Structures are given as C-alpha cells and as structure tokens.
Amino acid sequence: MQSKTFSVPNISCGHCVMTIKNEVSELAGVSRVEADQQTKVVRVEWDAPATWDQIKARLIEINYPPAEAN
C-alpha cells in the first residue's frame, strides 16, 4: 500500500471535498481518500493498478491540482 498526503489549495467547501473523494475513489486500486476543507489537505491510499501519476492526473482533470508535484 502506498499513501500520499498533499495540499490542494482549490478546496473551498464541502462540495469540493466530496468531489475529490468521489472522483479519486473511482480509480482502480484507490482504497481511501480523505480530504479536509479547513486545512485543504488530502490523503490518498492506493495499491496497484493505481499510481500517483493517475491520481494526480485525475485531480488536475477535475480542477483540484495538488500543490505538491512529486
């Protein structure tokens, strides 16, 4: 299992949090998505076939790009 915690500056409301959770959770291999509206921090846990590049691409696609590019 891999995990990553990162900032998403575009989070501004509960709807943003739900959109991130729903969209990222749809990726095969993603087991957990947590997002906090107050801190604008997201944590994702995944196994193969998901990759960080896929997760990052999905976040960019839905207009919630991660602040950290690693």
Residue 68 lies in a domain: no
Residue 11 lies in a domain: yes
The domain total for the chain is 1
pTM for this structure? 0.91
Q: In the prediction, which pLDDT does 69 show?
A: 46
Indicate the SS3 state at residue 42.
strand
User: What is the rounded distance in angstroms from the CA atom of residue 67 to the CA atom of residue 48?
Assistant: 23
What phi and psi values does residue 59 have, to the nearest 5 degrees?
-60, -40
For residue 70, pLDDT beyond 60 = no
- The token duo for 59 is 């976040």
Residue 69 lies in a domain: no
User: What is the rounded distance in angstroms from the CA atom of residue 13 to the CA atom of residue 66?
Assistant: 16
